[in-house]
Chain A
Amino acid sequence: MALSVDSALYRWQRPGAPSPSQTLSESTPLLVPVRDKPKLHLKKWRIVFPNKRGDGTDWKGASMLYSGNRIRTTKYTWVTFLPQNLFEQFQRLGNLYFFFLVVLNWFPQLEIFHREMIVLPLVVVLLASMVKDAIEDYRKYQLDKMINFSKTRIYDREEHAYIEKCWKDVQVGDFVQLQCNETIPADILLLHSSDQNGICHLETANLDGETNLKQRQVVMGFSRQNELFEPELFQNTIVCEMPNNDLNKFKGYMKKPNQERIGFNIESLLLRGCTVRNTEAAVGIVIYAGHETKAMLNNHGSRYKRSKIERQLNRDIFFCVGLLFVMCLVGAVGHGIWAGNFFEHPPYDIPDENGNFLSPVLAGAYMFLTMIILLQVLIPISLYVSIELVKLGQVFLIHNDIDLYDEEADLPIQCRALNIAEDLGQIQYIFSDKTGTLTENKMVFRRCTVDGIEFSHQENARRLDTHKELDLDDEDFANLQRFTLPPMDIEKSATSKQRSMRPLRRCQSARAHFQRHTRTRSLGRCDSNQSQVAFSSPIEKDVTPDSILLRRVREAALQTENLSPFIHMKTSTSLTDFFLALAICNTVLVSTATEPRQRVTVPPPIKPSGITLEKIHQIFQRLKLASLSQSFSSSQSSSDLGISFSAKNAPEYRAALECCDNDRDCGASGGGDELQGKDSTDIGSASLDEVFKSMTDSSLPTDFCYEAESPDEAALVYAAQAYSFTLVSRTPEQVTVRLPQGTLLTFDILYTLGFDSVRKRMSVVVRHPLTKEIVVYTKGADSVIMDLLEDSAKVDTSAERRMKRIKEKTQKHLDFYARDGLRTLCIAKKVLNEDDFQKWANFRQEAEAAIDNREELLMETAQHLETKLTLLGATGIEDRLQDGVPDTIAALREAGIQIWVLTGDKQETAVNIAYSCKLLKQRDIVFTINTENKETCESLLNLTLEEVRKNSEAEKPQRKIWGVIPTSFSASEAPSSEFGLVIDGRTLNVIFQAGLEETFLELTKRCRSVLCCCSTPLQKSMVVKLVRRQLKVMTLSIGDGANDVSMIQAADVGIGISGQEGMQAVMASDFAISRFKHLKKLLLVHGHWCYARLAKMVIYFFYKNVSYVSLLFWYQFFCGFSGSTMIDYWQMIFFNLFFTSVPPLLFGVLDRDVSAETLLGLPELYKDGQNSEIYKLSTFIITMLDAFYQSLICFFFPYLTYKDSDIDVFSFGSPINTISLLTILLHQALVMKTWTLFHLVAMVGSVVFYFVFSLIYNAACVVCNPPTNPYWVLEKQLSDPTFYFLCLITPITALLPRFFIFALQGTFGATLILKAQQVDKLPRGQQDLQIQKLRSRTQSPSSASVPSPVSNDDLKQRISHLCVSPFLHPVPAAVSHGDTASRGLSASEVNHLRKLTPEEGYYFFNRWAEEESVAADSSAEPSSGHYPLVPRRVKTPGQDDDKQTKDRAHNFNHGSHRRSVSAVTL
């Protein structure tokens, strides 16, 4: 028993002894009925009493203690809104700054503007935010209201029935009755379920997005109640843990009045927000309500991220603050000196109201503050508002991009973070998950090996390829849905030489898919309730059996009759065992296609109980020998087996068997004679089909849908089904499987040891119905299972020798699968004798009864059981790459983004996925570091780094060739294009612990891509953080599962893929896309645009503010630094607010410097954003200088023009204002790359609005704005030709330098972006051509960096040196092509495969090609099955040197990759 529980109990039973925290419980009548009983420590435990609404006061007390179910997610109430909102608003720096200015302006000495007037901007900003907050909060309020007033049924003691109540009235201790499809109102402890097994099914999609059903079990002791649950009789007290946000952990116990305790855990808790499914009714008691529910505790608000531009911006704001300080200082000192110049006070130096004059020093000090007010615009507070607006617009546009819309899921991109859109344009590192992100997470059964014999499933591979093609065409697809064939006919058509590769589906799967298909079509969206249900797509469901294996299975089924040799017998039983294990060793739920989600729980009526396998076979044999013509239907009346067998097939069958043998021989010896082999196969399979067709036709309906917790489980069940081992039903106690003979076998499940990531395996313990043996079937990762196999060290018997051979072969196959990028699973079994099992079962029960360290105990018992296993075989499941992944990765890489893959998968799988998605190229040199030792790790890192360095230094001169297009590589950043690094979780741990981060990063910087395999979620986030912090780069994480959440949150930009694995990743992400390929447009186009737009806009805002404010500053030199302005204050406010605000905003939202097509065509354009080319310090400084220059021109041209004239203050100011408006807008026009109608209207509109407003204002206002009075000023100016001459020349002169630079860039500038702009101007046809040209240009430096033959030889030498080092010695890649060849894999088939799998990457292709040539080469030799890949490469004529180099690199990289295997052993 757990210690903590004991102590808790002790505490509870300790009489009295109140602690300070217990005062609450004492003051309430909570413990009235248990007053005589000990008190419970309420800080740690929650006690729940059943609701005795009618009588007891105890419940009332509890309800007071615990929060009710009413939720309030609003921030404010009616009363607190104003103060709280104001308080929050004034926490913003900008508002405080405004407020500071208002306060400053309040002092008479400093007053520049009207007190009321300067308050205005602040009030406007505050009001706007307030309204926004209020609306937001009101929406939340309404939402809350809706939820609070949802109905549910609560037991009422007075009425003695369940009555309907609102959610908000639900309280802790209430009994709630839930109907099917009802949403659960609070966290409820399940006490009763209409299900006979006490199970309630939940859909947690609302909570975590996982669509598969979860089972919840009634609290032990209540489960067997078949009668209706009576709340009146429930007298127990519930003790459980305090509310927490862990969705997967919960524990507590129930105390019966007789002090008996019943433990329970999360398996009995129904969580708020989930939906009850498949269960008629459930009753439970409310444990947590309202805000204390786990769902609500998990409901965090979105977090605030600050984009890189904003961080830079803050730096520049500080620069502006510095500038402001300097300007104010100049003003203050200037004023002091100016005032000190007079011996006597001149008439224009006015004393204050009392007639006193300020001393020059004091006047200067005051002037400092005055100048802050005057030059306040220098701190661009408006910039923040504008940025928010622009980002809103940008996000709106991203959200509406139809290219990022996924039709299948009816999901556009979701922008969850509104303020980091421009970060998408600056990504330098991408960290990607593999499963579900790069791959579809649709598991497809591809290959298997049983008893050391590999079955390649060529037909299935072919089917998948055709399927892929067909997927593209919806019309054909829909037609094919109707084209359904009986299962065996399809089978036949596949094996016969039909040229059209029809996708082969069974009825039920076709129908299921068709339903889904029409549903999405007609509704236009995926209904969240149903279609996300984990019905697998046909691609996963239909497995075309391998013809050879199928034949063997059937042979096995018919074997007893033949009295085959022992070895055959052995094989056949392991085949049967293998498929049985596939079918039952899982937690798959079975439902029928006609009634999805209605589980088949009742075992089928016929139970072939008491029939042994032998007996079946005997019957079978008898039937055959008697040549009966009548068919035995599987009539319900017959207690025997349901086999229909038509006797006329018998001779054919015999012939077929013979043919099969021939065929196999032919395949093994000839290999090339395809036609013959095919023919014979046809005959064989056809006859067999006949046999089995009749059987399957007559048996039970085959429409089963399998709902699995993980897709690979379902894939295995479907695979088993393909070989007629059909999982028919599953209950917690029993599982029924239909055998190929048509027999239904019902196994009693004694235990199910679920999968966990530590054990990496799962097991079921069943009692075989025929042999009554207790069998353990285990399925798990090969690394684990292989170690758990029965020890065959002492090889004495032939059986054990055989076992060893099988093990070796299987391992070989597994390696081969892994290299193919397949997920491997080993299947093993173990037979227990009754005593051992009983012993273990007792132990297990104890462990299950434990409450506290239950997990550990369970783990221990599981590990105890899963030993000394017998290997049955292994499977290879393919996790298909998503569409367009290699293309996207290639483009992103070309864009200069480093892509790392962080995955929890095993190394081989990850490496192969990396190859197939072009993350690693064939000629890349891949270093693999696997070690657990610190010193080894360090030396390995250093060694590798040394190698990489040497190599990259050798290339450097080549890279430095500077084309006309400057490659923006800096030496440190340049990722060496031919190194890959593979590292595993353990090594990462060592690196983190031993402080080798810097070496590691140094190495990774030089590597083209990095793969971290077997890494935990924590490691993933640590890696992201390490790179982000140490290298100071912009990182992006993309993932789809809960295990990626921490990584997504650690990165600058987190992207979630809304896919199969639920919503957690999406919830944690900033952007949620539905396919990996969307990343390309998101980054390359939207990222680039958003960055370019915002960066330019920010720069422009700085420019605008500085150039405008400087005008006022220059004037100070002519008014004795007295803080005078020559522009009326209203016009100044409006200048920023209206006259010059719309064009930059529009620019920030709509500008397209380069078209989307060109951006996608030339990913290199992305580097602009990566290197922060547009907005960096130098740009900022240049812009500042330009702003000063322009303001100087804008001020001094009018000054010199009006110097010594009778111009008055405002008449001088109005041309300046006009000029500066024109200059600022024209500057914008120069920066703008796209002119749409909006832009034109905004530009012209701004100027027109300025004149109209100013004219009206100057004409209407005689005394409205005392004491400054711009009455009729502009009108007067407009009648003066000088004004026009001035307004013409000043902007021209002011913009001349900038235009000059633009002109130089535009005509001679060689930046890629300008070239791309030129490309945009070309007509369509030429565009592509030019893009190709540019690409070849830009890529030429990198192609130059491909090692020349000489340097490659060099490298090879070094590598070979490396190889002999104790850590890295090469293990030749062993490919078991011997088996492949022996199974008659003809050359043409290989060719076919090559043709069909181009998307699987060159690696795949090359490997096959090599194998093929090797096979051809060595056909005369006895096939030993051990062929080192490297030396056998046969040169084909016509290969140029370059190809050889590549091949060599390729070979080498295999070598280097394989080295890793040995490194693991360190």
Chain B
Amino acid sequence: MKNKTSFPPQEGETHPSRCPDNSAFKQQKLPAWKPHLTLATVLSTFFLTGAFCLSVGVCLILSANSVREIQIDYSEKCSDCSKLRENTSNWNKECHCFVNFTLKEDILGDVFMYYGLKNFYQNHRRYVVSRSDAQLLGRNVNIQKSSCAPFTTYQNGTPMAPCGAIANSMFNDTIDLFYNINSSVIQVPLLKTGNSWWTDKNVKFHNPKSYNVSSAFAETARPPYWQKPVYLLDEEDEKNNGYVNDDFIIWMRVSAFATFRNLYRRVSRVRQFADGLPAGNYTFHISYNFPVSKFKGRKHVILSTVVWSGGSNPFLGIAYVVSGTVAALTGFVITAIHLKLRKKKTYFQK
């Protein structure tokens, strides 16, 4: 009503026609493809999907089966050490443990050594965020403002380097592998670098700028659970020390599940290990530092190869096979229903 009163009547005469455009869009007549589920398309879809999934699934299962993997739970076997670590006052005491195992056949190809933890909730919400990426980038930041709390500073004000709960709870067992051949013991050469993501090592993690690593961390203190400061993580290799230590970087990449493994070492393919690990008796020499008993955790050490389709997990293959089977069966069911109902369908059947 208001609008109407406002417009002088003369205005109407110059007003263009209010007839809507006769365009395909406005008249909702856009050319359109209307998919229709006819019997032919439906059946072919099901059968083709089934066949495809089955074939892929078989390939995946075959490839997953070619993976060799050895997993040893050493939290039981090193029960003495485990008990020792239950008492936090013994944190400084060393404890070593030996775990023997036998390879029935050769593990050929690249062999990766993982440590596995069970029941360690690295994905806990407040745990995940308890870090300071800026600090790990080597920037001089006030970590008090970061989400590291309460693992930021000691009471005397010395900042922790690295800060946060993730770093504090870093896995610190040392695992060495020995090959027992003809009563002689050969240490399997293991590579401790190149295990982490390239981007992590070169982009996300940097030591603070300084002439050497130790001076870079001069003003800081180690996290409370640590036995040694961050600049002593790898005394042998300058490029694997401090924040850019591979073990540290890998630990900092928090795992998705409570049971997980982290790449620890790779077998260096030299001398008798050029093709992988030959069959025989081996011994893990473990320096047991990381306590798991208080959260009912388990520790594993795993030797495994990888294939193009991933690790030893056969699930994907099984999923493909099952899905493919189901799809094919569905196709048969539809065919059956169709055959049965065909006689009843009296009209409207092309």
Does A1266 lie at the interface of the complex (its beta carbon under 8 Å from any beta carbon of B)? yes
Does A312 lie at the interface of the complex (its beta carbon under 8 Å from any beta carbon of B)? no
Does B104 lie at the interface of the complex (its beta carbon under 8 Å from any beta carbon of A)? no
Residues of the B chain whose Cβ atoms lie less than 8 Å from the Cβ of A1434: none
Number of A-B contacts (CB under 8 A): 326
Residues of the B chain whose Cβ atoms lie less than 8 Å from the Cβ of A1263: 133-134, 137
Inter-subunit contact A353/B149 (CB<8 Å): yes
Does B289 lie at the interface of the complex (its beta carbon under 8 Å from any beta carbon of A)? no
Given the contacts A351-B150, A412-B19, A1266 and B133 also touching, CB distance less than 8 Å: yes
Residue A1122 contacts which of B35, B125, B262, B310 (CB distance < 8 angstroms)?
B125
Closest to B149 in A: A353
Stretch of B21-29, B75-83, B178-186, B273-281 contacting A (4+ beta carbons < 8 Å): B21-29
Which of B296-338 touch A at CB < 8 Å?
296-297, 308-311, 313, 315-316, 319-320, 323, 326-327, 330, 334, 337-338
Which of A1308-1328 touch B at CB < 8 Å?
1308, 1315, 1317-1318, 1320-1321
Query: A400 vs B46: C-alpha distance in the bound complex, in angstroms?
Result: 42
Closest to B17 in A: A524
Inter-subunit contact A524/B256 (CB<8 Å): no
Residues of the B chain whose Cβ atoms lie less than 8 Å from the Cβ of A343: 294
Query: A1112 vs B2: C-alpha distance in the bound complex, in angstroms?
Result: 52
A209 CB, min distance to chain B CBs, angstroms: 9
Residues of the B chain whose Cβ atoms lie less than 8 Å from the Cβ of A147: 2, 5-6
Residue B5 contacts which of A273, A1235, A1308, A1321 (CB distance < 8 angstroms)?
A273
Inter-subunit contact B39/A1307 (CB<8 Å): yes
Residues of the B chain whose Cβ atoms lie less than 8 Å from the Cβ of A1150: 28, 30
Stretch of B211-219, B232-240, B340-348 contacting A (4+ beta carbons < 8 Å): B340-348
Residues of the A chain whose Cβ atoms lie less than 8 Å from the Cβ of B9: 181, 275, 527-529
Stretch of A31-39, A548-556, A1286-1294 contacting B (4+ beta carbons < 8 Å): A1286-1294
Inter-subunit contact B28/A1205 (CB<8 Å): no
Residues of the A chain whose Cβ atoms lie less than 8 Å from the Cβ of B10: 529
Residues of the B chain whose Cβ atoms lie less than 8 Å from the Cβ of A1307: 37-39, 42, 334, 338
Inter-subunit contact A348/B37 (CB<8 Å): no
Inter-subunit contact A402/B319 (CB<8 Å): no
Query: A397 vs B121: C-alpha distance in the bound complex, in angstroms?
Result: 54
Residues of the A chain whose Cβ atoms lie less than 8 Å from the Cβ of B137: 1262-1263
Does B220 lie at the interface of the complex (its beta carbon under 8 Å from any beta carbon of A)? no
Stretch of A1130-1138, A1208-1216, A1217-1225 contacting B (4+ beta carbons < 8 Å): A1208-1216
Does A1450 lie at the interface of the complex (its beta carbon under 8 Å from any beta carbon of B)? no
Closest to A148 in B: B6
Does A258 lie at the interface of the complex (its beta carbon under 8 Å from any beta carbon of B)? no
Does B130 lie at the interface of the complex (its beta carbon under 8 Å from any beta carbon of A)? yes
Inter-subunit contact B27/A402 (CB<8 Å): yes
Residues of the A chain whose Cβ atoms lie less than 8 Å from the Cβ of B323: 1289, 1292-1293, 1296
Which of B101-135 touch A at CB < 8 Å?
114, 116, 120-134
Inter-subunit contact B123/A1271 (CB<8 Å): no
A262 CB, min distance to chain B CBs, angstroms: 30
Residues of the B chain whose Cβ atoms lie less than 8 Å from the Cβ of A1317: 34, 36
Inter-subunit contact B257/A1203 (CB<8 Å): yes
Query: A516 vs B16: C-alpha distance in the bound complex, in angstroms?
Result: 18
Does B157 lie at the interface of the complex (its beta carbon under 8 Å from any beta carbon of A)? no
Residue B319 contacts which of A1089, A1197, A1271 (CB distance < 8 angstroms)?
A1197
Does B3 lie at the interface of the complex (its beta carbon under 8 Å from any beta carbon of A)? yes
Residues of the B chain whose Cβ atoms lie less than 8 Å from the Cβ of A341: 296
Residue A1306 contacts which of B42, B146, B253 (CB distance < 8 angstroms)?
B42
Query: A1315 vs B168: C-alpha distance in the bound complex, in angstroms?
Result: 67
Does B56 lie at the interface of the complex (its beta carbon under 8 Å from any beta carbon of A)? yes
Inter-subunit contact B327/A1119 (CB<8 Å): no
Inter-subunit contact A348/B27 (CB<8 Å): no
Does A674 lie at the interface of the complex (its beta carbon under 8 Å from any beta carbon of B)? no
Does B197 lie at the interface of the complex (its beta carbon under 8 Å from any beta carbon of A)? yes
Query: A1024 vs B251: C-alpha distance in the bound complex, in angstroms?
Result: 71
Does A484 lie at the interface of the complex (its beta carbon under 8 Å from any beta carbon of B)? no
Residue A1235 contacts which of B33, B311, B350 (CB distance < 8 angstroms)?
B33
Residues of the A chain whose Cβ atoms lie less than 8 Å from the Cβ of B327: 1292, 1296
Closest to A1294 in B: B323
Does B268 lie at the interface of the complex (its beta carbon under 8 Å from any beta carbon of A)? no
Binary flags per residue of A1167-1204, CB closer than 8 Å to B gives 1, else 0: 00000000000000000000000000000010111111
Inter-subunit contact B34/A1235 (CB<8 Å): yes
Residue A1281 contacts which of B30, B33, B150, B309 (CB distance < 8 angstroms)?
B309
Query: A1201 vs B36: C-alpha distance in the bound complex, in angstroms?
Result: 35
Residue B121 contacts which of A348, A1236, A1320 (CB distance < 8 angstroms)?
A348
Inter-subunit contact B2/A1289 (CB<8 Å): no
Inter-subunit contact B37/A1303 (CB<8 Å): yes
Residues of the A chain whose Cβ atoms lie less than 8 Å from the Cβ of B4: 205-206, 273
Residues of the B chain whose Cβ atoms lie less than 8 Å from the Cβ of A183: 5, 8
Inter-subunit contact A1267/B253 (CB<8 Å): no
Query: A1202 vs B313: C-alpha distance in the bound complex, in angstroms?
Result: 8
Among B116, B123, B125, B250, max chain A CB count under 10 A is at B125
Does B49 lie at the interface of the complex (its beta carbon under 8 Å from any beta carbon of A)? yes
Query: A577 vs B37: C-alpha distance in the bound complex, in angstroms?
Result: 76
Query: A147 vs B8: C-alpha distance in the bound complex, in angstroms?
Result: 10
Query: A1150 vs B27: C-alpha distance in the bound complex, in angstroms?
Result: 11
A1366 CB, min distance to chain B CBs, angstroms: 53
Inter-subunit contact B128/A1209 (CB<8 Å): yes
Residues of the B chain whose Cβ atoms lie less than 8 Å from the Cβ of A853: none
Which of B26-60 touch A at CB < 8 Å?
26-28, 30-39, 42, 45-46, 49, 53, 56, 60
Binary flags per residue of B200-230, CB closer than 8 Å to A gives 1, else 0: 1001100000000000000000000100000
Stretch of A384-392, A403-411, A724-732, A954-962 contacting B (4+ beta carbons < 8 Å): A403-411
Closest to B310 in A: A1282
Does B260 lie at the interface of the complex (its beta carbon under 8 Å from any beta carbon of A)? yes
Inter-subunit contact B319/A1119 (CB<8 Å): no
Does A306 lie at the interface of the complex (its beta carbon under 8 Å from any beta carbon of B)? no
Residues of the B chain whose Cβ atoms lie less than 8 Å from the Cβ of A1262: 133, 137, 203-204
Inter-subunit contact A1206/B133 (CB<8 Å): no
Query: A399 vs B120: C-alpha distance in the bound complex, in angstroms?
Result: 62
Query: A207 vs B250: C-alpha distance in the bound complex, in angstroms?
Result: 78
Query: A1303 vs B126: C-alpha distance in the bound complex, in angstroms?
Result: 47
Given the contacts A299-B1, A1209-B256, A1235-B33, A1280 and B310 also touching, CB distance less than 8 Å: yes
Inter-subunit contact A1266/B146 (CB<8 Å): yes
Does B169 lie at the interface of the complex (its beta carbon under 8 Å from any beta carbon of A)? yes
Does A523 lie at the interface of the complex (its beta carbon under 8 Å from any beta carbon of B)? yes
Query: A732 vs B327: C-alpha distance in the bound complex, in angstroms?
Result: 89
Inter-subunit contact A402/B19 (CB<8 Å): yes
A1164 CB, min distance to chain B CBs, angstroms: 15
Binary flags per residue of A1423-1456, CB closer than 8 Å to B gives 1, else 0: 0000000000000000000000000000000000
Inter-subunit contact B256/A527 (CB<8 Å): no
Does B177 lie at the interface of the complex (its beta carbon under 8 Å from any beta carbon of A)? no
Given the contacts A347-B169, A525-B12, A1304 and B204 also touching, CB distance less than 8 Å: no
Inter-subunit contact A1204/B260 (CB<8 Å): yes
Inter-subunit contact B169/A1236 (CB<8 Å): no
Does A1152 lie at the interface of the complex (its beta carbon under 8 Å from any beta carbon of B)? yes
- Not counting A1122-B124, A1266-B146, A1318-B36, a sample of 12 additional A-B residue pairs whose C-beta atoms are within 8 angstroms of each other reads A112-B125, A410-B19, A525-B17, A1089-B28, A1122-B121, A1126-B256, A1203-B313, A1207-B257, A1211-B256, A1292-B323, A1307-B42, A1330-B348
Q: Which 3 A-B pairs have the closest CB atoms?
A: A1306-B37, A346-B295, A524-B17
Q: A: which residues have CB within 8 A of B?
A: 73, 112, 143, 146-147, 181, 183, 205-207, 272-273, 275, 295, 298-299, 341-344, 346-355, 370, 397, 399-402, 405, 407, 410-412, 523-525, 527-529, 964, 1067, 1089, 1118-1120, 1122-1124, 1126, 1150, 1152, 1156, 1197, 1199-1209, 1211-1213, 1232-1238, 1262-1263, 1266-1269, 1271-1272, 1275-1276, 1280-1282, 1285-1286, 1288-1289, 1292-1293, 1296, 1299-1300, 1302-1308, 1315, 1317-1318, 1320-1321, 1330, 1333-1334, 1337
Chain A to chain B contacts (Cβ below 8 Å), 5 pairs: A401-B26, A1201-B319, A1204-B257, A1207-B256, A1266-B146
